[in-house]
Amino acid sequence: MVADRRNLVKAVADALRSGDSQDKALVQLLYQLARDAKWEVRQDLADILPLVPDEHFAVLAAQLRQDDNRYVKTATERSMERRRRTELEAERTSRGMAQITSRFESFAKRHGDTAAADAMQLSEEHLEMVGKEIAHDLLNLLTPLKEYVKSLQSVMARNQAGTETTAKIAEGLELLHHSVRDIQMYCEPVPIERHMEKLGELVRTADELARTNVKEDGGNPAAVTLSADVPTDIRLLVSRHAITKAFMNILKNAYEACEAKKGKRQISICIKYAADSIHISFKDTGVGLSEENLRKLKAYLPGRKNMNKKRSTGYGLLIAKRSIEAHGGSMDIQSRLNHGTTVMISLPLATEASEE
Ligand SMILES: Nc1ncnc2c1ncn2[C@@H]1O[C@H](COP(=O)(O)OP(=O)(O)OP(=O)(O)O)[C@@H](O)[C@H]1O
Ligand SMILES: [Mg+2]
């Protein structure tokens, strides 16, 4: 019966997942199922092709791609594309790992084995901590979703409308998507291409984006006064996208902090020159942070979300700090509860000649 053979494909998939891919009988079964008289069975097999070991994948994919049935053909093409993407990703990861290993070896040559071992230990500890926080963060988002799904199932079972619960699921999934995108951005390398950009323009674009973002979240940026004292002649050698995004995240936080407070609502951006760098401060008169919360925030780990906000992911400052440091700059925060916050950035000044 067809159903039996379709179940057989499922069992083959389970066996392949558990690592039995070299088993002779299993390989024979794969070829037999690829010639099955029923297209549904061949299509199921085409769907599980990405699990098949390399040497058999090529043969089976070539065969099923020529199948007379168009569903089998399409499923095979989809599997081939999935396989190609996985291979590309694996290649990229292994190239990245090889680069890290070679940089680590040259670090050990320059500074000695003990320093290299210490550095490795520290970086591993940092990675573990970041990884743990990320996983914890994702789980916190996923747990209520699972509960909503359960309750939706029981509502559906009683044949009643489940619109409220479905809306919560959609909202939760949207935030999850947002968070994962931010995590992705946080882990992505900062673009290395740099151009001389006008600081004034970067600040202006960042402010427009921040205002749009705050409005989208239901806020009113027009209630906050912004004063930006940026000399028009300052140009910096930066990745426009990364620095605009960093300023945007800082400004967005400043607008949100001001909105959450009564009384004077003001953001001031000030510039100061140093010998070979420029200091930019973003000062707001918002709610500020307690000493305890500022200390936690300065650990720069994921998960410091704003509970008052619907769409907080807690990655805004992490992304900003990372981008600024990738430009050879630094970021620091000072804050007083109920008084306001100042985010200070320094970026190196470069000459036109440094632009490639
Ligand atoms: N200017 C500020 N004033 C007061 N608190 C701030 C300020 N900037 C950041 N914070 C605090 O630091 C937390 C982390 O900020 P971050 O930008 O990283 O994430 P978020 O704003 O919560 O989320 P997202 O940026 O994704 O909207 C905020 O939730 C807020 O509590
Ligand atoms: Mg933010």
Assess whether 221 and 331 both reside in one domain: yes
With respect to residue 228, please indicate whether it lies within any of the assigned structural domains: yes
Residue 261, phi-psi category: left (phi > 0), alpha (psi -120 to 50), beta (remainder)? beta
Does residue 303 share a domain with residue 204? yes
pLDDT of residue 174: 81
Give the ligand at the shortest distance from the Cα of 306. 1
Q: How far apart are CA 12 and CA 33, in angstroms?
A: 10
Tell me how far the alpha carbon of residue 347 lies from the centroid of ligand 1, in angstroms: 22
d(CA 128, CA 58): 38
| Separation between Cα atoms, residue 100 and residue 255, nearest integer Å | 39
Q: Are residues 210 and 345 in the same domain?
A: yes
Looking at residue 313, the DSSP 8-state letter turns out to be -
Tell me the pairing of strands 330-336 and 340-348: antiparallel
Q: How far apart are CA 315 and CA 86, in angstroms?
A: 27
CA distance linking residue 245 with residue 319, whole number of Å: 8
113: in domain: no
The range of the structural domain enclosing residue 31 comes to 2-84
Q: What is the residue with the minimal CA distance to atom 28 of ligand 1?
A: 306
Other residues' Cβ atoms within 10 Å of the Cβ of residue 118: 12
Q: Which residues pair with 228 in a beta bridge?
A: 269
C-alpha span between 226 and 116 (Å, rounded): 47
Do 227 and 288 reside in the same domain of the chain?
yes
Structure tokens at 299: 């650990």
CA-wise closest residue to 244 among 295, 191, 166, 170:
191
- Encode the chain (356 residues) as per-residue pLDDT tens digits: 889 999 999 999 888 876 666 678 888 999 999 999 999 999 999 999 998 988 899 999 999 999 999 999 999 999 999 999 988 888 887 888 888 889 999 999 999 999 999 998 888 888 888 888 888 888 888 888 888 888 887 877 776 666 777 777 888 888 888 888 888 888 888 888 999 999 999 999 999 999 999 999 889 999 999 999 888 889 999 999 999 999 999 999 999 999 888 888 999 999 998 889 999 999 999 999 999 889 888 888 876 666 666 677 889 999 999 999 999 999 999 999 999 999 999 999 976 555 55
Ligand 1 pocket, mutate which of 307, 312, 319, 335 (most atoms under 8 A from CB):
312
Q: Tell me, what DSSP letter sits at residue 221? A: G
What value, to the nearest 5°, has the Cα angle with vertex 336 and ends 332 and 342?
Answer: 35
Sequence-ordered strand ranges (E) for the chain: 195-198, 225-229, 235-238, 266-273, 277-284, 330-336, 340-348
Ligand 1 atom at minimal distance to the Cα of residue 317: 18
Query: Does 136 share its domain with 282?
Result: no
Give the whole-angstrom CA distance, residue 78 versus residue 35.
19
- Note whether 61 and 134 are same-domain residues: no
Q: Which of 340, 137, 145 is CA-nearest to residue 253?
A: 340
Of 55, 84, 113, which closes a domain?
84
**Is 108 near ligand 1, meaning CB less than 6 Å away?**
no
Q: Are residues 68 and 171 in the same domain?
A: no
The count of domains in the chain is 3
pLDDT at 19: 64
